[in-house]
């Protein structure tokens, strides 16, 4: 019997991008302030976890195939700029006049970054790393579970519900993981063994 293979890391990265874009599309100038805060917190936490996963697992695997390529080497500095914008947003409140403009700026930067990844980095990985994509996907999933557990999963679950009030958690990867973490029995969360 053949063992089922794990989904490719490139498919997981595309799915993360889709989820962040879905959160972005919920944000409008007229959105109530409490929902703006939930959308921004969810999108920022998802982006931070996604960027860390790419930097720890995906970019190192791709570094040989794209050595010296500016479309690859600019990726980490773009993540750093995104982290700066996130820190500034967290120091402000949704009632601040500059809040909308800064979040829209973050959205533009992320959309540009995602377009480069989806049209250059991911297709390159699928050609150069074909035999490793599933193993890399498994490593990314394990690490994602650790990072969600470290990032206040209760807040992620609440922000997912505030951002997507009518959507299924199953559609939202970090929201679903965070909810699953919160629903684990208390003894399991504390690391007790049977
Ligand atoms: Fe990235
Ligand atoms: Fe990405």
Nearest C-alpha neighbor of 22 from the set 168, 182, 152: 168
Q: Range with the lowest mean pLDDT among 111-125, 145-159, 160-174?
A: 160-174
Nearest C-alpha neighbor of 121 from the set 80, 72, 187: 72
Is residue 33 one of the residues assigned to a domain? yes
Q: Range with the lowest mean pLDDT among 2-6, 27-31, 110-114?
A: 2-6
How many alpha carbons lie under 13 Å from residue 68 in its C-beta half-sphere? 0
Rounded to the nearest whole angstrom, what is the distance from the C-alpha of residue 108 to the centroid of ligand 1? 14
Is residue 187 one of the residues assigned to a domain? no
Encoded tokens for 70: 């500016």
Is residue 192 one of the residues assigned to a domain? no
Q: Could you list which residues have their CB under 5 Å from ion ligand 2? A: 117
Range of the domain at 95: 12-182
Is residue 188 one of the residues assigned to a domain? no
Q: Range with the lowest mean pLDDT among 62-71, 103-112, 176-185?
A: 176-185
Check residue 182 and give its pLDDT: 84
Neighbours of 93 (CB within 10 A): 11
pLDDT for residue 172 is more than 80: no
Check residue 175 and give its pLDDT: 79
CA distance 83 to 60: 20
Number of domains in the chain: 1
Q: Which residue spans within the chain are E strands per DSSP?
A: none
Confidence of residue 170 (pLDDT cuts 50, 70, 90): low
Any idea which ligand is nearest the CA of 76? 1
Rounded to the nearest whole angstrom, what is the distance from the C-alpha of residue 64 to the centroid of ligand 1? 17
Is residue 82 one of the residues assigned to a domain? yes
Rounded to the nearest whole angstrom, what is the distance from the C-alpha of residue 1 to the centroid of ligand 2? 35
Is residue 1 one of the residues assigned to a domain? no
Is residue 3 one of the residues assigned to a domain? no
CA distance 63 to 11: 19
Is residue 191 one of the residues assigned to a domain? no
pLDDT for residue 130 is more than 70: yes
Rounded to the nearest whole angstrom, what is the distance from the C-alpha of residue 2 to the centroid of ligand 1? 33
Rounded to the nearest whole angstrom, what is the distance from the C-alpha of residue 55 to the centroid of ligand 2? 10
């Amino acid at each position: 019997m053949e063992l089922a293979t794990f989904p490719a890391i490139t498919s997981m990265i595309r799915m993360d991008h889709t989820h962040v874009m879905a959160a972005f599309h919920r944000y409008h100038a007229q959105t109530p302030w409490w929902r703006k805060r939930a959308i921004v917190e969810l999108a920022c936490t998802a982006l931070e976890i996604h960027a860390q996963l790419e930097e720890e697992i995906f970019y190192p695997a791709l570094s040989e195939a794209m050595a010296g390529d500016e479309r690859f080497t600019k990726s980490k500095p773009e993540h750093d700029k995104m982290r700066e914008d996130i820190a500034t947003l967290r120091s402000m409140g949704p009632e601040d006049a500059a809040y909308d403009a800064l979040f829209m700026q973050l959205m533009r930067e992320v959309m540009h970054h995602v377009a480069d990844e989806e049209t250059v980095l991911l297709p390159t990985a699928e050609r150069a790393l074909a035999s490793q994509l599933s193993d890399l996907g498994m490593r990314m999933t394990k690490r994602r579970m650790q990072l969600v557990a470290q990032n206040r999963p209760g807040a992620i679950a609440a922000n997912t519900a505030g951002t997507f009030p009518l959507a299924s958690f199953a559609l939202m990867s970090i929201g679903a993981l965070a909810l699953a973490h919160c629903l684990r029995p208390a003894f399991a969360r504390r690391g007790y063994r049977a």
